[in-house]
Amino acid sequence: AAVIAAFVFGMAGNISKTKMVAATAQQSGNTIYVTYQGGQDNQDVQSVHGVATVNNADHSMGTVTGVGQTMSVGGSTGKDHVVVTAVFKDGSTQVITDTYV
């Protein structure tokens, strides 16, 4: 039992904590806008990056570093895939928004 417990508790140490930050995406005309909203773990965010798949091609939306900052990409025809990731000071990366607009 002790060996099994040590194995189980050892594995639990490798699981990373999900960080709590968010971004919102919206479309206005043919432009997609992503706004970084921040969150509980905002102090640990180094940068936020957005990518939109528009007309079957990936387009960088740029990078923001502060709460309330917005990034955008044009050419949207509707139902385009948007993925936003945050890079944290500890070197980890996490998807914070994955949606269609």
Tell me the whole-structure pTM to 2 decimals: 0.83
pLDDT of residue 7: 55
CA 36-88-12 angle, 5° bins: 120
- The answer to whether 44 and 32 have CB atoms below 8 angstroms apart is no
Please determine, for residue 14, whether its predicted confidence score (pLDDT) is greater than 70.
Answer: no
pLDDT of residue 86: 97
Average pLDDT, the chain: 89
Under the banding of pLDDT at 50, 70 and 90, the label for residue 19 is very high
